[in-house]
């Protein structure tokens, strides 16, 4: 489904601020793979997501999604194949637009702008149905402005929007890190439910090692722009946090340091 082949990215090449963010990264995902990603601060986790989404061009290598080489496509062209949810609940939705307008926008992603903006009754019913799954009562607030929602509600809505058109790949970058623990747990439950039901191929960065072990069918650990550990199936499920920390020390020769991990 996704083939990241020997991808390299260096920021500020040739200056004193040169940073090799991704070094020859190879990652192949099968359809329906749900991969959790952990690693220390600056390991390259977000950069990997950004390279796949086309936020910055890659320096070398290729990215193939569902058999199509997307390496040179613009971010907006790739958006039609991808669903994305970031750490910041304010980023995925438009505050001064209604819930229904946000959903309609997500639904029309990648389509030509000449499309009429009317939202049909059938569409509204579909959105209400989907919103019900969230269990937040948003289905009765279709015309409410998104700016009125809490961070957790917005993040749940962003997740719904990101998965509305069954993306070929869902990218989640610490999407619950800014939420309180209870809300974060709720959004993670929703994530598992939606990904499971729609069999979405998913990459999820998390600073929570328990979540990384518990969720998905595969776990990768990144360090200094490289994938240093890749484990799946029963072996992954049987891991403990202690195993992961040990593994990190073994391969990276130091302690795994991540500010959000320490705060959680």
Please report, as ranges, the residues that interact with ligand ATP according to CB under 6 A: 11-12, 19, 21, 39, 41-47, 258
C-beta neighbour count of 252 within 10 angstroms: 19
Cα 189 from Cα 211, distance rounded (Å): 11
**Mind spelling out the 3-state secondary structure of 145-167?**
EHHHCCHHHHHHHHHHHHHCCCC
Taking the complex as a whole, the smallest distance from the CB of residue 39 to Mg ion amounts, in Å, to 9
Closest separation in Å from C-beta 23 to Mg ion? 17
Residue pair 169/78 in contact by the 8 Å Cβ criterion: no
Q: Which is nearer to ligand ATP, 56 or 246 (CB)?
A: 56
Nearer CB in complex with Mg ion: 58/172? 172
- Residue whose Cβ sits closest to Mg ion: 46
Length of the chain: 264
Nearer to Mg ion, 50 or 163 (CB): 50
Nearer to ligand ATP, 92 or 225 (CB): 225
The Cα–Cα gap between 216 and 205 comes to 11
Check the CA dihedral 177-182-188-191 and report its sign. Answer: negative
Among 2, 43, 46, 106, binds Mg ion (CB under 5 A): 46
CA dihedral of 107, 55, 112, 122, whole degrees rounded to 10: 0
State how far the Cα of 236 lies from the Cα of 234, in Å rounded to an integer.
5
Q: Select from ligand ATP, Mg ion, none the partner in contact with residue 11, using the beta carbon and a kind-dependent cut-off of 5 to 8 Å.
A: ligand ATP
Instruction: Name which of Mg ion, ligand ATP, none residue 175 binds, using a CB cut-off of 5 to 8 Å depending on partner kind.
Output: none
Stretch that binds Mg ion, among 43-51, 125-133, 141-149, 237-245 (CB under 5 A): 43-51
Least spacing, CB of residue 10 vs ligand ATP, in Å: 9
Residue 50 CB, nearest distance to ligand ATP (Å)? Answer: 7
Q: Given the complex with ligand ATP, which of 92 and 104 has the nearer CB atom?
A: 92
Place of tokens 């058109």: 165
CB of 107 to ligand ATP, least distance (A): 30
Nearer to Mg ion, 146 or 222 (CB): 222
Contact (Cβ atoms closer than 8 angstroms) between residue 100 and residue 119 = yes
Point out which residues bind Mg ion (CB under 5 A).
45-46
């Amino acid at each position: 489904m996704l083939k990241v082949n020997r991808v390299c990215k260096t920021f500020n090449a040739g200056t004193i601020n040169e940073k090799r963010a991704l070094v020859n990264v190879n990652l192949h995902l099968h359809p329906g793979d749900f991969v959790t990603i952990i690693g220390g601060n600056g390991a390259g986790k977000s950069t990997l997501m950004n390279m796949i989404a086309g936020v910055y061009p890659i320096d070398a290598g290729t990215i193939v999604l569902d058999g199509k080489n997307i390496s040179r496509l613009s971010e907006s062209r790739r958006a039609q194949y991808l669903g994305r949810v970031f750490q910041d609940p304010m980023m995925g939705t438009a505050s001064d637009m209604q819930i229904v307008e946000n959903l309609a926008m997500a639904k029309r992603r990648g389509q030509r702008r000449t499309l009429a903006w009317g939202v049909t009754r059938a569409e509204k019913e579909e959105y209400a149905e989907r919103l019900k799954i969230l269990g937040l009562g948003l289905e009765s607030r279709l015309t409410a402005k998104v700016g009125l929602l809490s961070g957790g509600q917005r993040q749940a809505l962003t997740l719904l929007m990101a998965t509305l058109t069954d993306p070929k790949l869902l990218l989640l970058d610490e999407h619950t890190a800014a939420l309180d623990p209870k809300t974060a747990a709720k959004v993670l439950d929703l994530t598992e439910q939606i990904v499971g039901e729609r069999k979405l191929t998913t990459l999820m960065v998390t600073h929570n090692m328990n979540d990384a072990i518990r969720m998905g069918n595969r776990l990768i650990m990144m360090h200094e722009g490289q994938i240093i550990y890749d484990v799946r199936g029963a072996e992954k499920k049987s891991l403990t946090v202690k195993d992961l920390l040990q593994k990190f020390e073994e391969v990276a020769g130091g302690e795994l340091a991540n500010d959000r991990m320490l705060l959680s």
